[in-house]
Amino acid sequence: MIYLDNAATTAMFPECVDIIKKYAVDEYFNPSALYAPAIIAAKAVKGAREQLAKALGCAADNIVFTASGSEADNFALSSGPRKRKGRIVISAVEHAAVFNCAKAMADKGYEVVVAPCDNYGRVIEEEFVKLLDDDVVLVSIMHVCNETGALNDIKKLCAEVKKKCKDAVFHSDGVQAFCKTRFSVKDLGVDLYSVSGHKIHAPKGIGALYIAPGLNLQPFIYGGGQERNLRSGTENVAEICAFGYAAERMSADINANFDRQKELQKLLVGGLRSAFSDGVRINTDIQRSGAHIVSFSFNGIRGEVMLHFLESIGIIVGTGSACSSKKAAERIPAALGLTGAFREGILRISFNENTGKDDINALLAALIEGANLLGKYRRV
């Protein structure tokens, strides 16, 4: 099998399985307890927090563990605003965790406005700036677009917000950027930053939220006071420690993986243009994107149908965010300016550090074969 849907999820590192067994079966103690084995578990959580903080470029005290990237996004939007009314600014292609949470915030009385994106899913900076004034209480712009890989200049956007909006908190969904592009949350200047474990070979069900020093948030989950009294609940020691391991391992190879995957992007995009010409639209600007995602659309061949054809010959790809609803399947193509048959023809290819040129060449050959077969049933 050739697996090319790593933006949806990744295979766990075998070492993470060993870590989970250690802290779920052998050393299963509650880190809030007072006896010696529990104190050892608490130290393990502290070590993982330090690993994650190093990968993000912040202090360990600024990390709060969550059950997922989606929870971290919800935490940021729900607890981030300093005022009970005002404007929330998000982008048109935000992950459903941000987009739907913003809609819920609108039901509570906030004004939610959507910053437009270009055809590659990148925020149009000139239009974004026009939305900024003292009424803005929170901004949430994803770092790397999970649909197209578009890379937003978060440092620049955040600086504009800080300059024009005195009460605004800036959040970025960094799930597709973390351990894939080199950055520091301190350098970006963000107040809140969400990450997820299962995108970097850690388990599903673990994420984290970076909270800038001095930012006081309301608790997201009340209870026994774990995670700085912001997100109570017994710590998931096993998955936290596995997440820390994966973050340390992946962050060590960011530059090499990025450069290698950029070459794969070029190979794939060049092959698509050569094989299909005007019959395909490339939705990823590889000059200004993360390295691990390529989105494209066929003219007249539904992406879902091509996906199942590829699956039948052992190649796994995606059509977009695995977390998206049917409404999101309409929202994203509209935000990207896709019209006509291109709207239903989206495929998303996403690499990991083990993806090679042979995998891309096999994909291109399969796409040509599939297009020849499925073209007989082309929509007009």
Given phi > 0 = left and psi -120 to 50 = alpha, else beta, which region is 116?
beta
Would you state the structure tokens that stand for residue 211, as one six-digit string?
């909270």
Euclidean distance between CA atoms 49 and 30, whole angstroms? 17
Among candidate residues 327, 343, 321, the one with its CA nearest the CA of residue 100: 327
Asked whether 232 and 220 are in contact (CB, 8 A), the reply is no
Q: What is the DSSP letter of 152?
A: -
Asked whether 124 and 133 are in contact (CB, 8 A), the reply is no
Q: Look at the alpha carbons of 5, 7, 9, 14 in this order and tell me if their dihedral is positive or negative.
A: positive
Residues whose CB is less than 8 angstroms from the CB of residue 218 and which lie 6 or more positions away in sequence, other chains included: 79
Euclidean distance between CA atoms 93 and 99, whole angstroms? 8
Euclidean distance between CA atoms 240 and 226, whole angstroms? 14
Would you state the structure tokens that stand for residue 15, as one six-digit string?
């070492």
Euclidean distance between CA atoms 98 and 271, whole angstroms? 34
Catalytic residue status for 179: no
**Choice among 16, 158, 241, 323 that is catalytic:** 323
- Catalytic amino acids? 323
